[in-house]
Structure 1
Amino acid sequence: MKPSTQRPPALRLIAVVTGEHRPLSGKKEGQNPPQTRRKAPSRQSRAKRSLLGGMLLVALLHLGLAGLLETACPHWRDPEFGHRLHQLRRLQQQAAASRPLVLILGTSRAQNGLQPSAMLLGDGSSSPLVFNYALTGSPPLKVLLTLHRLLDCGIVPDAILVELLPLWLASDAPAEVVFAPTAERLSWSDLHHLRPYCADFDLLYWHWWKLRLTPWSTQRVILKSHWCPRWLPWNERVDPFWTGMTADGFMPFLYAEPTPEFRQRTCEHARREYAYAFGGITFGERSIQAMEELVAICRQRGIALAWFEPPTSPRFRSWFAAGVWERGQQDMLALAQQWNIPVFLSTLEMREEEFADGHHLLRAGAARYSQWLAEQHVRPWLTSSGLISSPPSESKSRAKP
């Protein structure tokens, strides 16, 4: 005989009153059995969800930064270009719309050597707005890319001064070699502009993609230099490229008066760097191609173009074999004549102590050279191009028989 599973009447009455009426068997009469309780997630499943969430967050952070580098924050991608772009736009907003824009393109020689404020071209509503957009380590291909970038950003200058030295035209490396050390500073549109100058475009393309997939790693030095520069050793910081820049883009040399030991070290470095050209200068095919495209863009856009030869010290020129420097100048002038481009040769006598290393001007030398170049060449060139009017005294003298 099976034992009864029903409660005694007294217990059932108490259970009904207290709301705890449950059959002894765990089943309610006339009802389905209660559902089993859901098991708590195990530690392993919680760890998996945390890992996937973290991976998704990291992917979103990389994707967001990559988007900012391509669009709103070019100064995080290429600080030299980006900070100059920001400063140039600020100057254009403050200046009168009638002021013609004159840009200086070139290498660190132009960046340290041409000071727009020392050119004394005026600050009136019709005076030219001169801005130094020269970037360090710029072979002809990078100068061309700088112009493409500016045009892509909506900056169309009225005139361009391009630094040109014969030995500068000797570069013939393909784009994937020239930009390999700084590929993380390129944008998607930069790759399009550089494609005709690549021997192996896929090499540059995939190298750029690998760097762009992890921007928090590849841009870490640039980002730290913006946000927490003191966390970096001085020799790794890049913030002097914008903190040391003046309002007109000029970058004064780091030291106003370098020590003799510093000069000796920098001169030795320059001698090693340009030793390839001491015996002879041969223009590179890609350099000529880049300059030819730059000339074509200026003609198409109606941009006045001139070349200027930056000054060098007697010691620097003495490193070249007899006649090499002069033949290089002749070849450069022949190229300019072929393309009908004015060239402003450096005939100003510069003292050795005005240079840091024989080809980078110190601050005092830069001011003297800038004023001379403007008086002797830039002002007459801009006047003949119709970008500025002749001074009243000059107009009167021309009117006299």
Structure 2
Amino acid sequence: MAVTVPTSWLPHRTRTGAGAISQRSRPAHGRKARGAALAVALGFTVALAAQIVTGWVAHTNCVPLSDPQYSNKLTLLRAHPGFAGGNDGQTTLLFLGSSRTFDAIDAGAIGSALSRDLGTPVEAFNFAHAGAGPVTTAVYLRRLLKAGVKPNAAVIEVHPAFLAEQTSPPPEARWLHPVRLRPDELALVSQLGLPIPAPSAHGPRGWIAPWHEYRVQLLDRYAPVFSALQFRLAEHATDRHGFVRVPELSEAQRSRLRELTRKQYSDCWADYRPGGSGVKGVRDALETCRAAGIHAALLITPESTEFRSWFPEPGRSQIVPLVSELASEFRAPFFDAREWLADEFLGDGHHLSGAGADVFTARLGRESLGPWLRACVTGGAP
């Protein structure tokens, strides 16, 4: 008589059927689970390490991510050794300001003209940046001195729209993104009346999540096709002296740009009153120059008739007396060039075309900078 033995009585290795398959598959499933967990852990570790390395790169400025406009132009400036000392008798002249100066002053041409006029070498560089109002200029001037860049003379642009005291926040706040500032600059900016909050990039998130904190800068530098910025941060078509030549525009293009400019600064026109953080920024830059022994001058670049008319009275008539008072206090010359050029040289009302820059550069050097620098060189100016 045949005896049926329950499979549970059989040794483990002799079991057959579904039970045996299940027993053999458990180690395989376990190995797969452990492998998946290891892959996730490894991926997380690599991603975290990459984030930390990127944070280190950003904080040490090995790759200029926080403020590429400044860093890239500083690299260009360093190609002119006269600004870093040991200038072999050169007079070094630095221009600071916004895009109005950026595309208005051909520093290479003006340096050559002044060298001929003064009979001594003059090295000039245009260190202006798009959107850089008086507070940004004050910050950049301090940075340059810390970096060892000390010019003999500096021309500081005064942008009347950035002097609008009645706006809140000040107009410059829309341009100066918090991540562009260094931690030790936040107190200065606050003292100058610009309410810039401390960016999270200055804290732990700047180390563990820099791809998010610097996403705008990373896309602009490495994947500009995905960037939503109208103008690139990491790339400007400057010449070796920092000047940008703007192409000539048709009347239709100029008309469209003027309308955009009017809307862009619309909050500045209403009840315009010069003062506030803009004046504090100009004052700080003048104080920095005086403390460093740098000859300083103030400049308002050309504006069209229409652009000037957008500033309502009585604020419009207060601009020159206010800037003149600052200049007098610091014994600095003030060059008011708002009415120097015909309207056709100004594409949007306050930015010069290439032809306009040529005319303005020649006149500025001949009538203003030449006499001023001659007095500085001979000891006739402070």
- Normalising by structure 2, report the TM-score: 0.78
For residues 279-314 of structure 1, give each alpha carbon's deviation from its aligned partner in whole angstroms, at most 9, with x where no partner exists: 653233322322222222111110111101101111
1:260 aligns with 2:251: yes
Question: What is the deviation of 1:109?
Answer: 0.5
Residues 93 and 277 of structure 1: CA distance in aligned 2, closer, same or farther (over 3 Å): closer
Cα distance, 1:354 vs structure 2: 0.6
Instruction: Give the superposition deviation at 1:325.
Output: 2.7
CA shift, 1:93, in A, is: 7.1
Listed one character per residue, the Cα deviations across residues 193-220 of structure 1 (whole Å, up to 9, x for unaligned) are 434346877x424465476343323434
Amino acid at match of 2:372: W
> What residue in structure 2 maps to residue 63 of structure 1?
52
Aligned partner of 1:45 among 12, 18, 34:
34
Percent identity for Structure 1 against Structure 2: 23
**Which aligned pairs between 1:196-207 and structure 2 lie closer than 5 A?**
196-197=191-192, 203-206=197-200
Contact 2:178 2:199 in 1 (8 A): no
Structure 1 CA distance for aligned equivalents of residues 300 and 230 of structure 2? 31
Whether 2:167 is the aligned partner of 1:178: answer no
Deviation at residue 270 of structure 1 after TM alignment: 1.6
Structure 2 counterparts to residues 127-146 of structure 1, below 5 A: 127-146=121-140
- 1:15-34 equivalences in 2 (<5 Å): none
Number of the residue aligned with 2:328: 337
Match of 2:72 among 83, 91, 97: 83
Contact 1:191 1:205 in 2 (8 A): no
Structure 2 counterpart of 1:288, from 279, 287, 304: 279
Q: Report the aligned-residue RMSD.
A: 3.3
Give the 5 Å matches for 1:1-400. Answer: 42-73=31-62, 75-92=64-81, 96-119=87-110, 120-122=113-115, 126-171=120-165, 178=173, 182-197=177-192, 203-206=197-200, 208-209=202-203, 212-213=206-207, 214-229=209-224, 231-232=225-226, 236=230, 238=232, 242-253=235-246, 256-278=247-269, 280-321=271-312, 324-346=315-337, 349-386=340-377
Q: Quote the offset at 1:115 in angstroms.
A: 1.1
Instruction: Please identify, of 44-53 and 136-145, the stretch whose mean Cα deviation from structure 2 is larger.
Output: 44-53
Unaligned runs of 5+ in 1: 1-38, 390-401
SS of corresponding position for 1:42: helix
1 CA distance for matches of 2:340 and 2:170?
36
- The 8 Å contact of residues 138 and 281 in structure 2, kept in 1 or not, is answered as yes
Pair 1:207–1:196, CA change in 2 (3 A): farther
Amino acid at match of 1:244: A
Q: More deviation in 337-346 or 43-52?
A: 43-52
Cα–Cα, structure 1 residues 312 and 195, in superposed 2: closer, same or farther, change >3 Å? closer
Q: Any unmatched runs of 5+ in structure 2?
A: 1-26
Name the TM-score, length of structure 1 as normaliser. Answer: 0.75
Change beyond 3 A, Cα 1:197–1:247: same
Contact kept? 2:300, 2:338, Cα under 8 Å: no
Task: Give the direction of change, closer, same or farther, for the CA distance of 1:168–1:185 in structure 2 (3 Å limit).
Answer: closer
Q: Deviations 1:334-385 (Å, cap 9, x if unpaired)? A: 2322333210111764122111111000100011101100111111111211
Whether the 8 Å contact between 2:304 and 2:339 is mirrored in structure 1 is no
Larger radius of gyration: 1
Q: Is the 8 A contact 1:104 1:110 kept in 2?
A: yes
